[in-house]
């Protein structure tokens, strides 16, 4: 099979949440099943569609549809305030996110409903996606900035709604409208990654509707995402490889692993490698051009989760020996998953309103970005994209840290490649009733790590971070490094 380049969607990762029938204010819930996608088991829920104005400030604005689902509490007499998971991205739907991580939310569901709202523009809530041809997936470095701009223009022409009204400042008004429609007193918010931004802003705008806030992989309001993605990811990779070197078995099996990494970064920057890998959906062998962009996409996503962090030294070693298949297969699998999960139009609406306009080029470490394994293309693509993407509404204090005495629990992993623990410290600067927990050698998102889900449940039950005994976090499992493809060392 001839090797063909796989078209890049640079814009998608330009960074890259009852018995009987319930009805209120036009929102009717009926029996349904929600899933994490095709092939996954269904979860019993009550689902409905709520109509909201595209522009809430204009009563004559056309309607959009919001997908709402409620997973009932296990207790037949639940508390009046549900737990509301808010997905990341930006661009991921909260229903699918919850379905993927339902086990981590079971301690919370004992006494509280789970209220899920696909944020406007994501999931089944008037999804704002861009048309993608059969070969179009993420990270392709051969896709030029000119191609990126043409893709963005085509995307804007084909969007079903005005992209200006899919920002966080608008989305939180939807969440409050759903709360009122379902008759809940207050909300217990759980946000992960970009969802932490939504949770913080909802608590700022609707403090009387907020009972507790858990933010996991924290994006602080004062940070404009984009410039530090490459340098933070490089720092995370450096720390992972240093940990391998310090580990007796890993260091012996993969000597000079940091030097090997630098060598293969230089190799893919010089010229793409032709790699044939099995397609994750069909199993058919697929020939891909594996260059700097594909390499960056594969490595960056491997660094998000401790289970895949454990594979990194092995995959890097194999590439150094000329076997690019493991990294190529990882790239293809991740790219396809993310192109399905992320609604690009909504993603771009957020980034081009809430991040890129606030970049301070005098503080950007351009040399560090260029020296990183990701390079500068992502930042350049972001700025090019947002030069033509229309910005939307943003509330006046949106970029200011939340000042509140509401109970907050902040969660970080010290190996997180995109939202390091210092980001949570920035977010907490004006929080008067907050606790920050940091997982050792953990990546992006802590809710499913060890005893964290139970600690979150304890916090929500008491609405008090002071009740948390985090001693159990010291026993959280960290996957040992894989020394070969049979698994980690015994």
Contact residues for 448 (Cβ-Cβ < 8 A; gap 6+): 101, 103, 104
Mean pLDDT score, 259-263: 98
Mean pLDDT score, 133-155: 66
> Is pLDDT larger for residue 147 or for residue 441?
441
Q: What pLDDT was estimated at residue 128?
A: 96
CA-based max dimension of the chain: 68
pLDDT per residue over 360-402, tens digit each?
999 999 999 999 999 998 899 899 999 999 999 999 999 999 9
Max avg pLDDT among 12-26, 184-198, 286-300:
184-198
Residue 267 clears pLDDT 80, i.e. is over it? yes
The token pair at 331 is 């790239």
Q: Hey, what's the torsion of the CAs at 132, 135, 139, 145, to 10 degrees?
A: -70
Q: What pLDDT was estimated at residue 17?
A: 28
- Local confidence band at 337 (pLDDT 50, 70, 90 cut-offs): confident
Q: What pLDDT was estimated at residue 146?
A: 81
pLDDT per residue over 44-102, tens digit each?
999 999 999 999 999 899 999 999 999 999 999 999 999 999 999 999 999 999 999 99
> Is pLDDT larger for residue 16 or for residue 212?
212
Residue 136 clears pLDDT 70, i.e. is over it? no
CA distances from 411 to 110, 210, 317, 360, 456 (A): 22, 19, 32, 27, 10
Max avg pLDDT among 15-19, 259-263, 296-300:
259-263
- Local confidence band at 132 (pLDDT 50, 70, 90 cut-offs): low
User: Which range has the worst mean pLDDT, 187-196, 249-258, 468-477, 481-490?
Assistant: 481-490
Max avg pLDDT among 256-265, 268-277, 289-298:
256-265
Coil, helix or strand for 37? coil
Residue 11 clears pLDDT 70, i.e. is over it? no
pLDDT per residue over 45-55, tens digit each?
999 999 999 99
pLDDT per residue over 169-182, tens digit each?
999 999 999 999 99
Is 217:192 a contact under the CB 8 Å cutoff?
A: yes
Q: What pLDDT was estimated at residue 32?
A: 97
Mean pLDDT score, 199-216: 98
Q: Which helix (H) or strand (E) holds 460?
A: helix 452-462
pLDDT per residue over 411-444, tens digit each?
999 999 999 999 999 999 999 999 999 999 999 9
**Pairing verdict, β 187-192 and 83-86:** parallel
Q: What is the distance between the alpha carbons of residues 442 and 295, in angstroms, rounded to a whole number?
A: 22
Q: What pLDDT was estimated at residue 40?
A: 82
- Local confidence band at 26 (pLDDT 50, 70, 90 cut-offs): low
User: Which range has the worst mean pLDDT, 186-190, 257-261, 327-331, 348-352?
Assistant: 327-331
- Local confidence band at 143 (pLDDT 50, 70, 90 cut-offs): low
Residue 137 clears pLDDT 50, i.e. is over it? no
Q: What pLDDT was estimated at residue 19?
A: 31
β-pair partners for 50: 66
Q: What pLDDT was estimated at residue 234?
A: 96
What's the pTM? 0.92
For the chain, what is the mean pLDDT? 90
Nearest to 110 by CA among 79, 85, 88, 87: 79
- Local confidence band at 298 (pLDDT 50, 70, 90 cut-offs): very high
Nearest to 194 by CA among 217, 214, 162, 222: 217
Compute the chain's Rg from CA coordinates.
Answer: 22
Q: What pLDDT was estimated at residue 133?
A: 55
Is 481:466 a contact under the CB 8 Å cutoff?
A: no
Max avg pLDDT among 276-285, 330-339, 351-360:
351-360
Q: What pLDDT was estimated at residue 114?
A: 98
Q: Where are the beta strands (DSSP E) in 140-209?
A: 187-192
Q: What are φ and ψ of residue 115, in 5° steps?
A: -100, 120
Q: What pLDDT was estimated at residue 216?
A: 98
Residue 302 clears pLDDT 70, i.e. is over it? yes
């Amino acid at each position: 099979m001839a090797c063909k380049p796989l078209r890049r969607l640079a814009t998608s990762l330009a960074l890259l949440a009852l018995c009987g029938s319930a009805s209120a204010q036009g929102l009717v819930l009926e029996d349904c099943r929600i899933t994490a996608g095709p092939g996954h088991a269904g979860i019993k829920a009550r689902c409905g569609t709520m109509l909201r104005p595209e522009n809430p400030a204009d009563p004559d604005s056309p309607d959009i549809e919001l997908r709402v689902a409620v997973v009932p509490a296990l207790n037949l007499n639940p508390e009046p305030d549900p737990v509301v998971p808010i997905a990341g991205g930006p661009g991921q739907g909260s229903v699918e996110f919850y379905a993927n991580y339902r086990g981590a939310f079971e301690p919370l569901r004992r006494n509280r409903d789970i209220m899920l709202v696909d944020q406007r523009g994501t999931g089944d809530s008037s999804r704002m996606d861009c048309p993608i041809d059969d070969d179009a997936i993420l990270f392709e470095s051969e896709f030029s900035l000119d191609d990126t701009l043409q893709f963005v223009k085509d995307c804007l022409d084909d969007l079903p709604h005005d992209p200006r009204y899919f920002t966080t400042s608008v989305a939180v008004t939807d969440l409050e409208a759903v709360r009122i429609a379902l008759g809940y007193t207050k909300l217990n918010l759980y946000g992960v990654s970009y969802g932490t931004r939504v949770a913080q802003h909802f608590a700022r705008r609707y403090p009387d509707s907020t009972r507790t806030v858990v933010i996991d992989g924290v994006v602080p309001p004062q940070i404009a995402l984009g410039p530090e993605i490459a340098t933070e990811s490089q720092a995370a990779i450096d720390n992972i490889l240093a940990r391998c070197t310090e580990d007796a078995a890993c260091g012996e099996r993969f000597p000079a692993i940091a030097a090997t990494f630098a060598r293969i970064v230089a190799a893919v920057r010089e010229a793409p490698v032709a790699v044939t890998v099995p397609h994750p959906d069909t199993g058919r062998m697929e020939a891909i051009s594996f260059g700097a962009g594909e390499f960056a996409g594969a490595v960056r996503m491997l660094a998000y989760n401790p289970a895949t962090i454990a594979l990194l030294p092995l995959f890097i070693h194999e590439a150094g020996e000329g076997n690019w298949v493991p990294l190529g297969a990882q790239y293809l699998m991740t790219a396809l998953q993310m192109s399905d999960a992320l609604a690009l139009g909504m993603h771009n609406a957020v980034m081009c309103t809430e991040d890129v306009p606030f970049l301070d080029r005098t503080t950007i470490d351009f040399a560090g970005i260029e020296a990183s394994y990701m390079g500068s293309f992502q930042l350049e693509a972001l700025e090019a994209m947002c030069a033509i993407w229309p910005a939307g509404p943003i509330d006046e204090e949106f970029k200011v840290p939340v000042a509140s005495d509401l109970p907050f629990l902040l969660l970080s992993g010290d190996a997180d490649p995109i939202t390091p623990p210092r980001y949570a410290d920035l977010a907490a600067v004006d929080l008067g009733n907050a606790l920050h927990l940091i997982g050792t050698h953990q990546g992006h998102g802590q809710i499913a790590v060890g005893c964290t889900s139970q600690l979150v449940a304890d916090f929500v039950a008491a609405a008090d971070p002071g009740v948390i005994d985090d001693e159990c976090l010291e026993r959280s499992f960290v996957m040992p490094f894989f020394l070969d493809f049979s698994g980690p060392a015994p």
